[in-house]
Amino acid sequence: MLTFVARRLLATIPVLAIVAIFVFLMLRLTPGDPAAVIAGDYANSQQIAEIRAKLGLDEPLVTQFFIWAGRGLQGDFGESFFFKRTVAELILQRVEPTLALAVCTIVLAVLIAVPLGVIAAHRHGGWIDRIVMGFSVLGFSVPVFVVGYLLIYVFAIQLSWVPVQGYRSPVDGLGDFFQRIILPSCTLAVIYIALIARITRASVIEVLGEDYIRTARAKGLTERTVLMRHALRNAAVPIVTVIGIGIALLIGGVVVTESVYNIPGLGRLTVDAVLARDYPVIQAVILMFSFVYVLINLVIDLAYSFFDPRIRY
């Protein structure tokens, strides 16, 4: 068990290292002087020279990487040339809205998708199943921003139930917070629901064919107990896995959703940084999101071995 955890942790290191190398090379292998690129369009030659000295751009590429990575490990990602503050500060400031949006979305998606998937599996081949599967294909196909604007049009403009855009911190009042976070969460949840419902359905269908399900039914348990306690529990591993893998979709969706709803989170920061060609910020955001993605999946992997005694490594 401990060796498994240790091995799994060790296996994560090369992945993170390659992500870091890739993000590093992305900028360095672009034609042109990286210092000039980082400094932005309005920098003078003295500023460019300063950046070159600071990043050690005259050193060999390998040395440069270690300078960059070493600073990154200490949380120093340089300075944003657009926002005029350190990248770390900027990111910290923007974490909260994104985190709130992500958590609300995941909770909402799991609460809707898992029951949908279980019902679809239970009524395998019936019309509920067809509707759920149809919705799932649709959910993959309708772009996030179209869903977003559709919801805004119906619920914010036509019905005026919620404000159109914006964000309030939960610290300043939960009512205002939920009023503004509900539409973005629903928007972002669509594709996630599609993904989770599909996998839930597939894995529950598979489990429902097992002998112990027949036994459970034979001993007279209600269908509800059979589904929730016997089937869903044993189908949990692929479902939890896909929730973890789906984080990548979620991160992509965050960028779009935050732009549609004008939420000052990391997604908006990414777009603003790209529009302003603010490379230190772009680099840091990509790196951070990727690390979060890898680490979440690492945690999920490790969680299996705790929760599912059948899994032995």
Partner 1 sequence: MTAQTDEQVDIAAAAAAAARKPGIFRRMGRSQSVIIGAALVGVMLLIAIFAPWLDTIDPAQIDPTYRNRKPGVERMITLPGGEQVRHVYWMGTDSLGRDIYSRVIYGARISMVVGVTVAAISVVVGLFIGLISGYIRWLDGVIMRVMDGLMAIPGILLAIGLVSLWGAGLFTVILAIVVPEIPRVVRLVRSVVLSVREEPYVEAAISVGTPTPLILVRHIMPQTMAPIIVQATFICASAILVEAILSFLGIGIPPETPTWGNIMAEGRVLFRIHPHNIMYPGVFLAVTVLAINMLGDGLRDTLDPRMSKRI
Binding footprint of partner 1 on the chain (CB under 8 A): 14-19, 21-23, 26-27, 30, 37, 137-138, 140-146, 149-150, 152-153, 157, 164, 195, 198-199, 202, 238, 242, 245, 247-249, 251-252, 255-256, 259, 270-271, 273-275, 277, 279, 282-283, 285-286, 289-290, 293-294
Smallest gap, in angstroms, from Cβ of residue 218 to partner 1? 29
Task: Map residue 25 onto helix, strand or coil.
Answer: helix
Instruction: Extract the runs of DSSP E, i.e. beta strands, from the chain.
Output: 79-80, 85-86
Smallest gap, in angstroms, from Cβ of residue 41 to partner 1? 13
Tokens (6 digits) for 251 = 């991160």
Smallest gap, in angstroms, from Cβ of residue 33 to partner 1? 13
Contacts of 188-191 with CB under 8 Å at 24 or more apart are: 188/101, 188/105, 188/144, 188/250, 188/253, 188/254, 188/257, 189/105, 189/108, 189/109, 189/112, 190/139, 190/142, 190/144, 190/147, 191/139, 191/140, 191/144, 191/249, 191/253
**DSSP state letters, 165-207:** S----GGG-HHHHHHHHHHHHHHHHHHHHHHHHHHHHHHHHHH
Cα separation, 102 vs 17, in Å, equals 26
Cα separation, 265 vs 272, in Å, equals 11
The residue among 133 and 221 lying less far from partner 1, judged by its C-beta, is: 133
The residue among 101 and 226 lying less far from partner 1, judged by its C-beta, is: 101
The residue among 221 and 245 lying less far from partner 1, judged by its C-beta, is: 245
The residue among 232 and 250 lying less far from partner 1, judged by its C-beta, is: 250
Smallest gap, in angstroms, from Cβ of residue 282 to partner 1? 6
Q: Which amino acid is at 11?
A: A
The residue among 177 and 244 lying less far from partner 1, judged by its C-beta, is: 244
Smallest gap, in angstroms, from Cβ of residue 219 to partner 1? 31
Smallest gap, in angstroms, from Cβ of residue 47 to partner 1? 20
The residue among 216 and 247 lying less far from partner 1, judged by its C-beta, is: 247
The residue among 31 and 309 lying less far from partner 1, judged by its C-beta, is: 31
Contacts of 40 (CB under 8 A, 6+ apart): 81, 82, 276, 277, 278
Smallest gap, in angstroms, from Cβ of residue 217 to partner 1? 25
71 burial (CB, 10 Å; 0-12 / 13-18 / 19+) is middle
